[in-house]
Amino acid sequence: MNKNQINEEINECVDNFNTICMKISNHFSTKFPKDLEVDVYKTAVMDFIKKKPREPISLFIKNVYANDKYRESIMSSNENFFTNNNFDNLTQNDQSKMDIMHQIKSYWTKLSGNSRKFIFGALQMLIDICECYISKKTKLVQ
Protein backbone atom coordinates (compact mmCIF):
# COMPACT_ATOMS: atom_id res chain seq x y z
CA MET A 1 0.00 0.00 0.00
CA ASN A 2 1.47 3.38 -0.96
CA LYS A 3 1.54 6.54 1.14
CA ASN A 4 -1.25 8.20 -0.83
CA GLN A 5 -3.59 5.29 -0.12
CA ILE A 6 -2.67 5.32 3.56
CA ASN A 7 -3.23 9.09 3.72
CA GLU A 8 -6.64 8.63 2.09
CA GLU A 9 -7.52 6.03 4.71
CA ILE A 10 -6.32 8.35 7.49
CA ASN A 11 -8.50 11.12 6.07
CA GLU A 12 -11.43 8.69 5.98
CA CYS A 13 -10.84 7.91 9.68
CA VAL A 14 -10.83 11.64 10.46
CA ASP A 15 -14.03 12.20 8.46
CA ASN A 16 -15.77 9.25 10.13
CA PHE A 17 -14.67 10.40 13.57
CA ASN A 18 -15.96 13.92 12.97
CA THR A 19 -19.24 12.64 11.54
CA ILE A 20 -19.87 10.64 14.71
CA CYS A 21 -18.99 13.66 16.88
CA MET A 22 -21.55 15.68 14.95
CA LYS A 23 -24.13 12.90 15.35
CA ILE A 24 -23.58 12.94 19.12
CA SER A 25 -24.00 16.74 19.14
CA ASN A 26 -27.14 16.47 17.03
CA HIS A 27 -28.52 13.77 19.31
CA PHE A 28 -28.15 16.00 22.37
CA SER A 29 -29.65 18.91 20.42
CA THR A 30 -32.65 16.78 19.48
CA LYS A 31 -33.14 15.55 23.05
CA PHE A 32 -32.80 19.01 24.60
CA PRO A 33 -34.25 21.34 21.92
CA LYS A 34 -35.02 24.20 24.32
CA ASP A 35 -31.64 24.21 26.05
CA LEU A 36 -29.54 27.03 24.65
CA GLU A 37 -26.33 25.60 26.15
CA VAL A 38 -26.74 22.46 24.04
CA ASP A 39 -26.94 24.65 20.94
CA VAL A 40 -23.81 26.52 22.04
CA TYR A 41 -21.96 23.20 22.54
CA LYS A 42 -23.21 21.91 19.20
CA THR A 43 -22.08 25.08 17.40
CA ALA A 44 -18.70 24.93 19.14
CA VAL A 45 -18.21 21.31 18.07
CA MET A 46 -19.19 22.08 14.48
CA ASP A 47 -16.91 25.13 14.31
CA PHE A 48 -13.99 23.24 15.84
CA ILE A 49 -14.36 20.41 13.35
CA LYS A 50 -14.61 22.85 10.47
CA LYS A 51 -11.54 24.88 11.51
CA LYS A 52 -9.31 22.02 12.69
CA PRO A 53 -10.68 18.72 11.35
CA ARG A 54 -7.81 16.57 12.67
CA GLU A 55 -7.81 18.08 16.13
CA PRO A 56 -10.88 16.25 17.59
CA ILE A 57 -9.45 12.79 16.94
CA SER A 58 -6.03 13.88 18.21
CA LEU A 59 -7.51 15.24 21.44
CA PHE A 60 -9.70 12.17 21.90
CA ILE A 61 -6.72 9.87 21.47
CA LYS A 62 -4.64 11.89 23.93
CA ASN A 63 -7.31 12.40 26.61
CA VAL A 64 -9.64 9.40 26.29
CA TYR A 65 -8.26 6.58 24.14
CA ALA A 66 -4.83 6.64 25.82
CA ASN A 67 -6.49 6.36 29.25
CA ASP A 68 -7.12 2.66 29.87
CA LYS A 69 -9.87 3.30 32.44
CA TYR A 70 -11.76 5.61 30.09
CA ARG A 71 -11.37 3.35 27.09
CA GLU A 72 -12.38 0.21 28.97
CA SER A 73 -15.34 1.96 30.62
CA ILE A 74 -16.60 3.14 27.24
CA MET A 75 -16.18 -0.27 25.66
CA SER A 76 -18.07 -1.92 28.53
CA SER A 77 -20.76 0.82 28.62
CA ASN A 78 -19.96 1.46 32.28
CA GLU A 79 -22.37 4.21 33.28
CA ASN A 80 -21.16 4.25 36.90
CA PHE A 81 -17.65 5.16 35.84
CA PHE A 82 -19.03 8.02 33.77
CA THR A 83 -21.43 9.37 36.39
CA ASN A 84 -19.09 8.92 39.39
CA ASN A 85 -15.85 10.18 37.84
CA ASN A 86 -14.83 13.84 38.21
CA PHE A 87 -12.52 13.67 35.14
CA ASP A 88 -9.75 15.75 36.74
CA ASN A 89 -7.33 14.96 33.94
CA LEU A 90 -9.76 16.48 31.43
CA THR A 91 -10.81 19.52 33.45
CA GLN A 92 -7.42 20.28 35.08
CA ASN A 93 -9.20 22.40 37.71
CA ASP A 94 -10.44 24.75 34.98
CA GLN A 95 -13.81 25.92 36.27
CA SER A 96 -15.35 26.32 32.81
CA LYS A 97 -14.33 22.77 31.88
CA MET A 98 -15.63 21.48 35.22
CA ASP A 99 -18.94 23.25 34.56
CA ILE A 100 -19.20 21.60 31.13
CA MET A 101 -18.53 18.15 32.60
CA HIS A 102 -21.15 18.78 35.30
CA GLN A 103 -23.63 19.87 32.63
CA ILE A 104 -22.95 16.79 30.50
CA LYS A 105 -23.55 14.59 33.55
CA SER A 106 -26.79 16.46 34.17
CA TYR A 107 -27.92 15.80 30.60
CA TRP A 108 -26.92 12.16 30.97
CA THR A 109 -29.31 11.64 33.88
CA LYS A 110 -32.16 12.98 31.75
CA LEU A 111 -31.51 10.71 28.76
CA SER A 112 -33.57 7.60 28.10
CA GLY A 113 -31.96 4.17 28.13
CA ASN A 114 -32.02 4.11 24.31
CA SER A 115 -30.28 7.49 24.13
CA ARG A 116 -27.61 6.31 26.54
CA LYS A 117 -27.09 3.19 24.42
CA PHE A 118 -26.77 5.41 21.34
CA ILE A 119 -24.15 7.61 23.06
CA PHE A 120 -22.15 4.62 24.30
CA GLY A 121 -22.38 3.02 20.84
CA ALA A 122 -21.13 6.24 19.26
CA LEU A 123 -18.27 6.51 21.77
CA GLN A 124 -17.37 2.87 21.08
CA MET A 125 -17.25 3.67 17.37
CA LEU A 126 -14.92 6.59 18.16
CA ILE A 127 -12.62 4.15 20.00
CA ASP A 128 -12.69 1.78 17.00
CA ILE A 129 -11.92 4.64 14.62
CA CYS A 130 -9.00 5.71 16.83
CA GLU A 131 -7.56 2.19 16.65
CA CYS A 132 -7.81 2.27 12.86
CA TYR A 133 -6.34 5.79 12.73
CA ILE A 134 -3.37 4.83 14.92
CA SER A 135 -2.78 1.71 12.84
CA LYS A 136 -2.75 3.76 9.61
CA LYS A 137 -0.49 6.43 11.09
CA THR A 138 1.92 3.70 12.21
CA LYS A 139 2.03 2.27 8.68
CA LEU A 140 2.72 5.72 7.31
CA VAL A 141 5.90 6.14 9.36
CA GLN A 142 7.22 2.63 8.71
Domains of the chain, by residue range, sit at: 3-141
Residue 78 CA to residue 125 CA, distance in Å, equals 15
CB atoms within 10 A of CB 63: 13
pLDDT digits (tens, 9 = 90+) for 31-82: 999 999 899 989 999 999 999 999 999 999 998 999 999 999 999 999 988 7
How many distinct helices (H) and strands (E) make up the chain?
8, 0
pLDDT digits (tens, 9 = 90+) for 83-118: 887 777 666 777 776 777 778 888 898 999 999 999
The predicted model scores a pTM of 0.91
Cβ–Cβ under 8 Å, residues 127 and 17? no
Residue 12 CA to residue 107 CA, distance in Å, equals 30
Higher pLDDT, 121 or 89: 121
